Amino acid sequence: MRPQTASKTQMPFTDVRGIPVSYRDRDAIDGLERAVIMSLCFRGDANAEIDQILAEHPDFLMGWLFKAGWLTQAMETRIYDLMLESLAQAERLLPDANDRERGHFEAVQAWVRGDFFGAVQKWEAVLTQYPMDLLALELIHYTMVLLGDVPGQRDVVARVFNLWDESIPGYEFVLGFYSFGLEENRDFSRAEELARQALSIRPDNPYAVHTVSHVMEMRGRQAGGIRFMRDHAATWGTSNFANHLWWHTGLYHLDLEQYDEVFDIFDTHLDSRNKDGHRYEELDAAALLWRMNLVGQESGDRWTHLANKWEPAAQDTLYAFNDVHAMLTFVSDNRVEAQKALLSANERYLENASDANVAMTREIGLPFCLAMQDFKRENYAQCVDRLLPIRYMTHRLGGSYAQRDIIGWTLLEAALRARRFDLALALANERTGIKPSSAQNWRAVARAFKGLGDRGQADRANAKAQSLMTA
């Protein structure tokens, strides 16, 4: 079958981009489009929207497939039954499905078996046949972020990008996906250009804001990043992605040693006490607090409240990225039993499971969990020994470079505290090479030189850090 493209004259039962839909009701198809746009904009409740459509149209196959597909991105056990139920509803409607819908069904079916990479391949087959399938593109791109497939985040969009233009509804989201994939592959200039183009079309596109925030973080443009995020906060601050974008804003302040600003962002926007327990919000909160502790800032009782949210998920073993953030809270709040439960669950899981998360857990997740215990126990040499061999494999944990940097930063701080100053200097030099405008990186260089007895070099590095903070 030839690839489908959008046209100005739509056939009766296609979506707004010309993709065929087997269910013959325009209201249902339009309702699905609203839910898809909600998911892309991180606004409203896409699941609630599709539930309302399905209540009126229980035989709307693509509605059930959207619900099941969108639930895959939660990576939480609490939604697993809902995903299975949605998939079962879709399965009963398969006899009337078209090939695109069957592809989406097979993708989610692979996902629930734990074959995340197989799910991506199924969605990619759909996208190859239907390059305007924005839902397939969304699910592939987000899943590649979850799995740490850095080239894939860019290339999946590149395969269809030249077929899109501004006349096709949703083009701004394609720009957003492509820009983030380019950023993660260190094509920063083009990434920022496409992200800003996306924002010129839809200023309230949080994912495009996200790309710009990453570019500025990776390039060490802290002051510019703060201005950009504050200038656009009126649009992204009301989105469902605001928590993560505040986390990015906090990183800029952290790099400039503006610790009061970081805690203000945490207490105002990331504190989980008044939130309903979505893992993604709590990932950011844990990651920011750990970084603050690495630079010697005490967190008060913030860890206790955060660990309370994570403890029910201590034995999930669904996604290693979640597990390491849970462990951050457990070691920081001295929850010995929760640490044991998490480690025991992961050890049992590795003995018996065969899904895609096994390699993520064995290679990165479990070593980092053990390294965090070492760090908290002040066994810094052992922490270094655990993290040093995996430092170039951390993409397998998933997430972004900015998120995974917590591992490299922990390794550097452990090396300094273990008095392995030659190694610490090497690691700190690497970081200044990548981001020479980071005051934190130059502080680490100064500490390493001081440990090596070179007071002159230490003073010069501290002066460099100070100049960056006042620039």
Q: CA torsion 324→326→331→335, rounded to 10°?
A: -150
Per-residue DSSP letter, 239: S
Averaged pLDDT for residues 341-354: 92
End-to-end alpha carbon distance in the chain = 58
| Count of CA atoms in the C-beta half-sphere (13 A) of 96 | 12
- pLDDT tens digits for 167-195? 999 999 999 999 999 999 999 999 999 99
Q: Give strand pairing partners of 14.
A: 20
Run of H or E residues at 87 = helix 80-92
One-letter amino acid at 187 equals D
- pLDDT tens digits for 287-329? 999 999 999 999 999 999 999 999 988 888 889 999 999 999 9
**Contact (Cβ atoms closer than 8 angstroms) between residue 311 and residue 338:** yes
Phi, psi of 14 (to 5 degrees): -130, 165
- pLDDT tens digits for 199-239? 999 999 999 999 999 999 999 999 999 999 999 999 999 99
Helices 61-71 and 26-41 pack at an angle, to 10 degrees, of 10
* pTM for the whole structure: 0.94
- pLDDT tens digits for 20-45? 999 999 999 999 999 999 999 999 99
Q: What is d(CA 436, CA 413) in angstroms, rounded to the nearest whole number?
A: 18
- pLDDT tens digits for 42-98? 999 999 999 999 999 999 999 999 999 999 998 888 888 999 999 999 999 999 999
Run of H or E residues at 137 = helix 134-147
One-letter amino acid at 167 equals S
SS3 assignment, position 110: helix
